[in-house]
Structure 1
Amino acid sequence: MDAIELGDAIKAARKAQRLTQAELALRVGVSRHTIMQLESNTYTDLGIRKVMNVLTALGLSLQVGPSKLRRPTLEDVYEENERERREREAEFRKGRVR
């Protein structure tokens, strides 16, 4: 689950419980702005305790598992650049320059 999915899950659970952002914020002890930032993935730095308190208040939990995303290696980037270069050369030879 990424930050966007987390925010969507929090928003969906809040709405399912017919809570406003202000009501949830009051339950958790944070500002409504914090709830809005969490739901819209616009926060710059939000502590894990705040996130856990919001999840607990909504009856949700956070599970940790292997990442679905991995950062590309230098080799990955090189191979991607080479593939794109070959595609551009092939298009150039066919007279279709990008």
Structure 2
Amino acid sequence: MLVTYSPYDQPAPQIDKKKIYGTVDNRRAHPSLSLRNQAISLLMRLVQGENGMYFCGCSATPANGHDLSLISGFAVAELIGAAYPFADNLYALRDYNRFKRMCID
């Protein structure tokens, strides 16, 4: 599959219409890195587990990075009973525990 990007204010490049299956719009794929949203993502740790609800992913992760979003999924999985998958790597485990203190604990 080929995804073609073009500026939103310019027409898309000419492509054979029979080969187009759909469009992709990533403008809202990530939350804004505003002070408000960063504060909200830091405060989300205070409500983790309330009423059986857990949050992970880019909206629940300060700085909104893909790798941190994945780690937030590991942390939520641990909260509901799964083991951290890289516990044998001491450097990874150290970083993971540091992340949990910032976002989950």
Q: Tell me the TM-score normalized by structure 1.
A: 0.31
Hey, which of these two has a bigger chunk of helix by percent? 1
Larger Rg: 1
